[in-house]
């Protein structure tokens, strides 16, 4: 009886210590708004939002990588490289804390890249 009670207490203690340990990092593009009108430059603003396991959310603006001219979208190689370095730095800092990348999801809309979502969890 004591063994069963001990294992029950140990199990309850361990289950109380386990909680969702998941980082969600999301990159996305957004059209800039100026006085409720679409910006005429056609460039899109890029953001990266990180949701931490403790519930804190941080959003940073990434360098602008694409610009729409008439119906074509052009990507600046330098700005795209800067974006990837910032995203890589953020993901590496999370991975260095012991988290592992468990899933990625790319979002496409009408053939254009809209953003990515990275899920990182403690194994």
Pairwise CA distance, residues 121 & 99, whole Å: 5
| 104 pLDDT tier (thresholds 50, 70, 90) | confident
Looking at per-residue pLDDT, the higher value among 39 and 104 belongs to: 104
Is 120's pLDDT higher than 60? yes
State pLDDT tens for residues 3-33.
Answer: 676 666 666 555 545 556 899 999 887 766 6
- pTM of the full structure: 0.67
pLDDT (0 to 100) of residue 59: 93
Is the predicted pLDDT of residue 75 greater than 80, yes or no? no
Q: What's the pLDDT tens digit per position in 34-71?
A: 544 444 455 677 889 999 988 899 999 888 765 555 55
What is the CB-side half-sphere exposure of residue 30 using CA atoms within 13 A? 13
Q: Is a pLDDT exceeding 50 seen at residue 116? A: yes
What dihedral angle (degrees, nearest 10) is formed by the CA atoms of 38, 39, 45, 49? -40
- Pull the structure tokens for residue 10: 């140990």
**Amino acid 37: pLDDT:** 46
Report pLDDT for 49. 94
Give the pairing type, strands 22-30 and 112-121. Answer: antiparallel
């Amino acid at each position: 009886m004591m063994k069963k009670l001990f294992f029950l207490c140990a199990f309850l203690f361990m289950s109380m210590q386990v909680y969702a340990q998941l980082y969600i990092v999301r990159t996305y593009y957004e059209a800039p708004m100026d006085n409720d009108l679409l910006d005429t430059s056609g460039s899109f603003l890029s953001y990266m939002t990180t949701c931490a396991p403790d519930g804190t959310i941080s959003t940073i603006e990434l360098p602008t990588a694409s610009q729409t001219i008439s119906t074509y979208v052009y990507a600046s190689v330098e700005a795209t490289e800067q974006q990837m370095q910032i995203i890589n730095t953020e993901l590496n800092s999370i991975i260095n804390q012991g988290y592992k990348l468990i899933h990625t999801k790319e979002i496409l809309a009408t053939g254009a890249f809209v953003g990515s979502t990275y899920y990182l969890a403690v194994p």
